[in-house]
Chains A and B, each alone.
Chain A
């Protein structure tokens, strides 16, 4: 079942940077789809199209169609605020908001208008449990989120997204700022989460891509070179550019 159907997506920024060239792709739901490739390939831009975060940047033109659960999200009449609650995003550097741990995790729900304290408490606990952070922080929820380690901060950022009970979780190089232990924690978590959520991840190296991918898409300089299951792409890639990148010929 397809969560996303992307048809001929092209995007250009006003400084002609990091554009996307005619991307067509389908994203399977409740699976981990990996976007990989060298820097500047368009992976981050692509992710930001999916939750319309690009609206914050200087986009000169955007063409094509992006169907999410059947609706074209590029339609100007789209309720982007509701969309962003369904498609959560974790960024490459942990960015806790300058609030307490509790307020960070509850932020999305509070913005949506949830005022019931019990519902919020419950949601916060759920989300923190799902990101394996509850045991560590339940006694200091009112502390500043900055008092946590890098790995813990990133898990707060994940919990923040989970609290909204999204359909999709997108992660843009989520472990690039983390040590190996924190990294493997996150990867383990993804393995659990994919049973409930559609996961799209742009890892910062090929090894992570290989470790977690159910499906993989190779982005190179704004183009989608190849797409298939993890096994297909990493063991038997069809395009020479893909195999060269995977084997480290360039990077």
Chain B
């Protein structure tokens, strides 16, 4: 009886071990298939074309620069919008709000995290776009700015929850020491607690950026999808195209294996690598904070 149980145990242990390695397998698999379908684009399309500033596939223009810039513009503005609200709310919930308010507001913010992006895009089109058009008196409300506001809203829950966690992890003794020296709670927050949670907050911001950059549906529905080069000052208030929206809107209409198809996959590779970089930075930031506090507390 014991022997059979031991064999059973060994079997289960191996199965569990294999599933443990599965995440590495999937990352490699994803990378592999992206490369498989996307690298041929480098062969079929001269680099000069890819790096040009015109994206008009029907006529053979595959310049991805406007798309990359479009993504960057929307992401940057979205982050700038989301930061004050995200960090402000995180600070409020962690340092100022009484527990009962926290218990009400935190779930509400988490509701936002659960709202599908297509729903936000939907409201964006029907409500926000006309509003922007009227409010700013511009020809169309489908602009980079509209997209940025929506994206900012989407990334706020990520920033709030990670930053709030980071602030909660700061030992209470820090706050008490500061107060004991005569500082107000306000001063303590900005001079002691927030700096102590610096790497956690940084992680939160990076994750928020990652979220914004990877967002597809909401941006696609409100940014107008015109692959223009966002180089003028008022580019923010004109239609624009992101990398994600490009893939989503054009993939359905390309023939498998065609040049257009391959370039779309190439854009996918760019997105994959960008998110890899952002996530490695984010995890480096949080590891550093953990190691430092481990050093301090040992």
Contact = CB atoms under 8 A, between A and B. Distances in A.
**A–B contact (CB under 8 angstroms):** yes
Interface of A: 112-113
A112 B5 CA distance: 9
Contacts of A112: 2
Nearest to B9: A81
A13 B221 CA distance: 59
A180 B5 CA distance: 43
A112 B6 CA distance: 11
Nearest to A114: B1
A221 to B, nearest CB: 21
Contacts of B5: 113
A119 to B, nearest CB: 14
4 contacts: A112-B2, A113-B1, A113-B2, A113-B5
A9 to B, nearest CB: 28
Interface string B1-19: 1100100000000000000
A112 B2 CA distance: 8
Interface string B52-73: 0000000000000000000000
A84 B234 CA distance: 75
Contacts, number: 4
Nearest to A15: B298
A80 to B, nearest CB: 12
B88 to A, nearest CB: 41
A112 B1 CA distance: 9
A135 B2 CA distance: 34
A113 B1 CA distance: 7
Nearest to B4: A113
Contacts of B2: 112-113
A74 to B, nearest CB: 21
A100 to B, nearest CB: 24
A166 B5 CA distance: 21
A113 B2 CA distance: 7
Task: Identify the 4 closest CB pairs spanning chains A and B, nearest first.
Answer: A113-B1, A113-B5, A113-B2, A112-B2
A113 B3 CA distance: 11
B217 to A, nearest CB: 44
B73 to A, nearest CB: 50
A113 B8 CA distance: 13
A77 to B, nearest CB: 13
Interface in B1-60: 1-2, 5
A247 B1 CA distance: 54
Contacts of A113: 1-2, 5
B48 to A, nearest CB: 57
Nearest to B2: A113
B142 to A, nearest CB: 57
A130 to B, nearest CB: 26
A79 to B, nearest CB: 9
Nearest to A112: B2
A125 B5 CA distance: 27
B35 to A, nearest CB: 40
A164 to B, nearest CB: 14
A188 to B, nearest CB: 36
B5 to A, nearest CB: 6
B253 to A, nearest CB: 57
Contacts of B1: 113
Nearest to B5: A113
A89 B191 CA distance: 50
Interface string B85-111: 000000000000000000000000000
A212 B2 CA distance: 38
Nearest to B1: A113
B128 to A, nearest CB: 50
A37 B53 CA distance: 79
B17 to A, nearest CB: 18
A113 B5 CA distance: 9
A192 B5 CA distance: 36
A188 B19 CA distance: 51
Nearest to B298: A15
Interface string B154-168: 000000000000000
B9 to A, nearest CB: 10
A23 to B, nearest CB: 28
A76 B5 CA distance: 20
B258 to A, nearest CB: 56
Nearest to A111: B5
A30 B145 CA distance: 82
B188 to A, nearest CB: 34
A170 B114 CA distance: 52
A113 B6 CA distance: 11
